[in-house]
Amino acid sequence: MTRTAVIIEPGYADYSHERDILGRLGLGLKPVDGAGDRTALKSALSEAEIVFVRDTVLDAELIDAMTQAKGIVRYGIGVDTIDLDAAKAKGLVVARVNDYGADIEVADHTVALLLAAQRRIVSRDRDVRAGAWQVGQKEPIRRIAGSTMGFLGFGRIARSVAERMSGFGVTDFIAHDPYLGDAPDGVRLVSLEELAAQADLLSLHAPATDANRGIIGAEFLSRMKPHAILVNTARGPLIDETALHKALEEERLRGAALDVFAIEPPVGNPLLSLDRVVISDHSAWYSEATVAAIQSGAAREAKLILETGDAEHRIV
């Protein structure tokens, strides 16, 4: 019987890294459409010794179908789409790829979105193409230098964003992060309420957990400055999108720049209709370099699980 590693798609255009590393262990690769026939997906999972997943939700039913598997490897860091309790009950190792240079790409993308929103790049592009010119004073633009920049979560990516923003003249950095004991150099730790009230620019860099889903809600948004910009390159469920839409529509918030949404793709999401919102397609992490690092890292984690029953970046 052929030994199989299942890759739940959507994944990547090429799987040479996985094929090279797992091929040495005698495993073949079997890509399966995660959005296709569920029965076919469960059948494929029943044959897998190891399962790779990027965006597909792995619920208890799918995990229960993994009768031969030793583990699940998530392409990337977040594991909120995997039922970890079901995996643990099944005796599966769940691993992720912790270090693939995301702090570089995500930090770059965060700053790009922030600049696009603050400098009105998208609306300027649209207006000029439509024949407008010199419309600046009709849409005032605040100077970035001298702003207070706030962070929800202050891990590696947030620190990289702060480093980049210091080059734009931002010197006042505040953060709310319950996992930090002491304030990093140059950063003031504040309460959630103070974060909302003081930030001119606010960037989200927290995981989505049961405790913080919708943490950027109506009450938080009501405390924010009317000229503030909100950027989210972390997880969509951090924001109560209905409350955000209302705040933007009522001009109680200058703008938002979003790479992630609670439901993706965000087809029919009312936020897409607002000129005050700059949008990208959950691509903050992306570059050719990060894809190669993610895939080779995932393959190495899978190899460790198969050979030792453990993983370097094990979650369960």
Instruction: Give tens-digit pLDDT for 73-113.
Output: 999 988 989 999 999 999 999 999 998 988 899 999 999 99
DSSP state of 267: T
Q: Is the pLDDT of residue 311 over 80?
A: yes
Query: Pick the residue with more confidence: 299 or 77?
Result: 299
Q: Is the pLDDT of residue 273 over 90?
A: yes
Q: What are phi and psi of 152, to 5 degrees?
A: -95, 105
Adjacent-strand bridge partners of 58: 82
Q: Is the pLDDT of residue 197 over 80?
A: yes
Residue 17 lies in a domain: yes
pLDDT at 102: 80
**Cβ atoms of 110 and 284 closer than 8 Å:** yes
Return the minimum-mean-pLDDT range out of 48-52, 94-98, 208-212, 232-236: 208-212
Examine the domain organization and report whether 93 and 106 are in the same domain: no
Residue 315 lies in a domain: no
> What three-state secondary structure class fits 60?
helix
**Average pLDDT estimate for 295-315:** 98
pLDDT at 181: 87
Q: Is the pLDDT of residue 130 over 70?
A: yes
Structure tokens at 23: 């091929």
Examine the domain organization and report whether 26 and 162 are in the same domain: no
Examine the domain organization and report whether 237 and 88 are in the same domain: no
Residues 6+ apart with CB under 8 A from 188: 172, 173, 174, 175
User: Tokens 């296709």 map to which residue?
Assistant: 36
Q: What are phi and psi of 30, to 5 degrees?
A: -135, 95
Neighbours of 25 (CB within 10 A): 14
Examine the domain organization and report whether 125 and 274 are in the same domain: yes
Examine the domain organization and report whether 16 and 140 are in the same domain: no
**Average pLDDT estimate for 19-35:** 96
Q: Is the pLDDT of residue 135 over 90?
A: no
Total number of domains in the chain: 2
Examine the domain organization and report whether 178 and 60 are in the same domain: no
What's the domain range around 17? Answer: 3-99+288-308
Q: Is the pLDDT of residue 281 over 70?
A: yes
Examine the domain organization and report whether 166 and 82 are in the same domain: no
Domain containing 302 — which CATH number? 3.40.50.720
Residue 252 lies in a domain: yes
Residue 95 lies in a domain: yes
Examine the domain organization and report whether 127 and 265 are in the same domain: yes
Residue 225 lies in a domain: yes
**Average pLDDT estimate for 258-272:** 97
Examine the domain organization and report whether 254 and 163 are in the same domain: yes
Q: Is the pLDDT of residue 139 over 70?
A: yes
Residue 188 lies in a domain: yes
pLDDT at 78: 85
d(CA 267, CA 49): 35
Q: How high is the mean pLDDT of the chain?
A: 96
Examine the domain organization and report whether 58 and 153 are in the same domain: no
**Cβ atoms of 69 and 305 closer than 8 Å:** no
pLDDT at 101: 86
Examine the domain organization and report whether 234 and 273 are in the same domain: yes
Q: Is the pLDDT of residue 1 over 80?
A: no
pLDDT at 46: 97
**Cβ atoms of 96 and 315 closer than 8 Å:** yes
**Average pLDDT estimate for 4-8:** 98
Residue 316 lies in a domain: no
Going by C-alpha positions, the residue among 12, 51, 18 that lies closest to residue 299 is: 18
- Active-site residues, by number, are 235, 264, 282
**Average pLDDT estimate for 141-154:** 97
d(CA 215, CA 297): 32
Residue 314 lies in a domain: no
Examine the domain organization and report whether 179 and 94 are in the same domain: no
